[in-house]
Amino acid sequence: MQIPATSIKSAAKPVKRKVDGVLLLDKPVGLSSNIALQKAKRLFRAEKAGHTGTLDPFATGLLPLCLGEATKFSQFLLDADKEYLAVVRLGVRTSSGDPEGDVIAERPVNISLSDLQQALTGFMGEIEQIPPMHSALKHAGRPLYEYARKGIEIERKARRVKVHELEIESFSGDVCHLRVRTSKGFYVRALADDLGEVLGCGAHLQGLRRTGVGPFRIEQAQSLEELSELDELELDRRLMPADIMVEALAALPLDLEAAWQICHGQPIWLPRLMVGQQYRLYAPDGRFLGVGEVNQDGKVAPRRLVVT
C-alpha cells in the first residue's frame, strides 16, 4: 500500500512536549538571538520558548532562554544588570557602531593609556545615553534598525542609564578591551562610538561577549554543540527551575488554604506586608506557584502564576 506523501511528512515532524525551565546558552557568533532560540527549542522539542533580551549576531555569550512556564518570568531578567567584555577599535567609526556597518570615518590614533582612563571616567555612574539607530527600539511601531537600513535618521531622546563598573582589561594602541557592568537599557555600541568622539579619533565596537545577566554567569552556560550531543533526559537535567528567574524576591510559603486561594486568582491577607512588595509564592509541599504582589488593600494578589 502506498503511503501518501503528506502522511510521511507529518510523521517525520518532531512531536512537541511540555518542558519548563531556564536554559543558559552561550550564543555563538553569527546567529541572531531568535535563531539561537529556535535551535534550542527544537533540541528540547519545547512547546513554548522565549529569550530574555537579545544579543546582536556579531556578539557572543550569555543568552538565558525560558522554556514553558518559565517564559512568564522573562521580564525579571530584561530588567536585570548586564556584564560584557567589549573590544573597541579606535580610529575607525562605522555607520552602525559595530563591525557590520560601513566605515564612515578614519582618523589617526595617538592615545595613551592615561588618555583612555581619563575619558572613561566620564562614562561612570548615572549618565545620559542616546540609543543608536541600529537598535530594536520602536518608532511608529517599527524598530529603529529598519529606518537605519534605509538611511533614515530618527531623532532619539537621551535615556538615563547607569554604569556600575567600567574597567580596562587591556590596551594596545588602537584596540582596547573593556569590562562593563551596566543597568538595563545600556548600549555598548553607543559607549564605543561616544568614547571615540571624546578621544577625538572615532571608534566602533569590534567585538562583544556578554558574561553576566542578573545572577547568571557565562561559566554556567552551554553551547548549542554541547547540547546537541545530549539525549532528552540529559537535556532536561541542564534546565534550571523557573523560580530561579525571581530568586531576588523574598520567598513566601503558603498554607494549603492560602495556596488554593492564590491558584484561583484570589488575593490573600498576611500581616506586616508593604504595598507594592513582590514575593515568590510556594505551596506547602515546596512547589513554586508564581509571583504575587501586595495590592492597595494590603493583600498579596497573584501577578504571574505557573500552571500546576
Give the residue numbers marked as catalytic.
Answer: 56
Q: Could you tell me if 303 and 276 are in contact, meaning their C-beta atoms sit under 8 angstroms apart?
A: no
Q: How many CB atoms lie within 10 A of CB 149?
A: 13
Q: What's CA 99's distance to the chain center, in Å?
A: 21
SS3 15: coil
Nearest to 26, CA basis, from 14, 39, 16: 39
End-to-end CA distance of the chain: 45
Grid cell at residue 274:
508593604
Residue type, 38: Q
Grid cell at residue 235:
537535556
Grid cell at residue 263:
491558584
Grid cell at residue 25:
546558552
Number of H helices and number of E strands within the chain? Answer: 9, 18
Nearest to 66, CA basis, from 51, 86, 54: 51
Q: Could you tell me if 192 and 207 are in contact, meaning their C-beta atoms sit under 8 angstroms apart?
A: no
- Collect all residues with Cβ–Cβ distance below 8 Å to 35 and sequence separation of at least 6: none
Q: Could you tell me if 250 and 29 are in contact, meaning their C-beta atoms sit under 8 angstroms apart?
A: no
SS3 265: coil
Q: Which string of DSSP letters, residue by residue, matches 230-277?
A: S-HHHHHHTPBPGGGGGTTSEEEE--HHHHHHHHTT--EE-SS--TT-
